[in-house]
Amino acid sequence: MSYQLKPWHEIPIGSIVPEAGSSKVNHTGSWRMLRPVLNYDKCTHCLICWIFCPDDSIPVTPQERFETDFEYCKGCGICAVECPYDALEMVPEMEIKLKELEEEIG
């Protein structure tokens, strides 16, 4: 018994993607559980974090790295793993939110 694949025009449509998704359109940072926190004293601006960031959420100039764009950062931690100077620490998002709330309340 041999199995024959159907020609492309006989395969039923499974789903339609009307336009490709983009993290520039979809702010994906809202599901983050961990947040990269930069220690500026350890950072040498080698930009290795920027090279490995899959979300392009680390804005840079040719000379230096800036604070992470948390609208798009998913908290994957690749930047912290790849940093040769341990300048990034992954901190639970809830800890940061609680600290921000405490500062707001006073």
Q: Each residue of 33-59: pLDDT tens digit?
A: 999 999 999 999 899 999 999 988 898
CATH of the domain at 96: 3.30.70.20
Q: Supply the pLDDT for residue 33.
A: 94
Residue 40 belongs to a domain? yes
Output Rg (C-alpha) for the chain, integer angstroms: 21
- 74 domain residue, yes or no: yes
pTM of this prediction? 0.71
- Local structure of 105: helix, strand or coil: helix
Domains identified in the chain, total number: 1
| Within a domain: 13 | no
**Mean pLDDT in order along the chain per 10 residues (106 residues):** 81 75 74 93 92 89 81 94 97 92 88
- For 37, the domain range is 29-105
CA dihedral (67, 72, 74, 76) positive or negative: negative
Q: With respect to residue 81, please indicate whether it lies within any of the assigned structural domains.
A: yes
Domain-embedded: residue 56: yes
Q: What integer pLDDT is reported at residue 23 of this predicted model?
A: 61
Residue 24 lies in a domain: no
Please say whether the beta carbons of 32 and 68 come within 8 A.
no
